[in-house]
A and B are shown apart, each in its own frame.
Chain A
Amino acid sequence: KNQVEQSPQSLIILEGKNCTLQCNYTVSPFSNLRWYKQDTGRGPVSLTIMTFSENTKSNGRYTATLDADTKQSSLHITASQLSDSASYICVVSDRGSTLGRLYFGRGTQLTVWP
């Protein structure tokens, strides 16, 4: 069964601090991995997307890494801001279907305190 597991489930940090969120997956055959940010009551918004050959990608203060051999990814947030408070969802797409089926993790709920 294709699965995406994220840790920690929730995280509280102080404004200005860095943090790293983890994602492990078993989806096969692998196509790409995305990190989404979902604010409360809103739809997910894409932060990064990485294919098999990419092992790091940045989007401003967000840096995602991918180790396709160990099937692990991380999202590093630098110099956190209050607006970073949200759920961060790891999503993996398989290569086996034309639909581009997405497998979602449950997300890490990040809270940034002033």
Chain B
Amino acid sequence: EADIYQTPRYLVIGTGKKITLECSQTMGHDKMYWYQQDPGMELHLIHYSYGVNSTEKGDLSSESTVSRIRTEHFPLTLESARPSHTSQYLCASSATSGASYEQYFGPGTRLTVT
């Protein structure tokens, strides 16, 4: 079992609310990722980070923002949630070295915006 945690696991909020999805890992990994996954669809990378103070946008455009102030913490924020943001959000991390770049996933946050 990977030591990567996400909170909350489930969240139902109204349109226009600001939310922050938390992700923490205790493995000391430099690289962290946020993915978005809709039911029956593939995971899409929305944000990633190489390390502290490093953040980049992924393949899928997202209105969310991320920050990386500490190695173990990689929160994702939506300033004004909309129904189109309803999805599952998965956080992952990987070590910097090693050709396999094995990524370990958290349990996910299921977000519903009403």
Q: A residues within 8 Å of B by Cβ?
A: 4, 31-32, 41-46, 49, 51, 89, 93, 99-102, 104-107, 109
Is the CB–CB distance between A93 and B92 below 8 Å? no
B99: chain A residues within 8 A (beta carbon): 31-32, 51
Residue from B6, B48, B107, B110 in contact with A99 in the complex, judged by beta carbons closer than 8 Å: B48
CA distance A109 to B102 in the complex (A): 23
Q: B residues within 8 Å of A by Cβ?
A: 2, 4, 6, 31, 40-45, 48, 50, 90-92, 94, 99-108, 110
Given known A43-B92, A100-B94, contact A49–B102 (CB-CB < 8 A) = yes
Give the residue among B42, B102, B107, B108 with the most A Cβ atoms within 10 A: B42
Is the CB–CB distance between A43 and B107 below 8 Å? yes
Q: 26 A-B contacts, Cβ less than 8 Å apart?
A: A4-B42, A31-B99, A32-B99, A32-B100, A41-B108, A41-B110, A42-B107, A42-B108, A43-B105, A43-B108, A44-B90, A44-B105, A49-B102, A51-B99, A51-B100, A89-B42, A99-B50, A99-B101, A100-B103, A101-B45, A102-B43, A102-B45, A104-B42, A106-B40, A107-B42, A109-B40
